[in-house]
Amino acid sequence: KDRGFDPDCIFCKIVAGEIPAEIVRQDDATVAFRDLDAQAPVHVLVIPRHHVPNVGALASERPEDAVALLDAVREVAAQEGIDEGGYRSVFNTGPDAHQTVFHAHVHVLGGRAMTWPPG
Ligand code: 5GP
Ligand code: ZN
């Protein structure tokens, strides 16, 4: 279960450099790259290097990585220049939330005004 790398996972392949991505930041625990299907002027995905299926599993199994992920979100927002205007951080978990990739990730969206409630 805690194997760290899933050969069938698209985000594990991005971490491994096996498929290309526009990486904007990385550190020992996390990688941040632009979403292929951007929903805002800035749309970056921040993921742990270690494969876990969602953020709840990350928090319970790898709490230090969960903290690193949140730190990376803040740093990506500053680097992308959306920290002053504001940005939204989204964790989709499960089918009702439209999770499509089962490797923990947070969407960082900014550069435009967001709406509430989300769709
Ligand atoms: P979810 O719907 O699971 O919360 O978000 C998965 C996100 O990953 C989607 O926004 C989708 O556009 C993005 N995505 C899926 N495959 C790739 C890929 O190969 N490269 C990049 N950069 N983004 C991807
Ligand atoms: Zn993975």
Q: In ligand 1, which atom is closest to the CA atom of 98? A: 2
> What CATH code is assigned to 10-110?
3.30.428.10
User: What are the sequence ranges of the domains in the chain?
Assistant: 10-110
Q: Rounded mean pLDDT of 25-52? A: 98
Average pLDDT in the chain: 97
HEC assignment per residue over the chain: CCCECCCCCHHHHHHCCCCCCCEEEECCCEEEEECCCCCCCEEEEEEECCECCCHHHHHHHCHHHHHHHHHHHHHHHHHCCCCCCCEEEECCCCHHHCCCCCCCCEEEEECCCCCCCCC
Residue 2 — pLDDT band, cuts 50, 70, 90? low
Residue 35 Cα to ligand 1 middle (Å)? 6
Q: In ligand 1, which atom is closest to the CA atom of 34? A: 22
User: What is this model's ipTM?
Assistant: 0.99
Catalytic residue, candidates 43, 50, 103, 105: 105
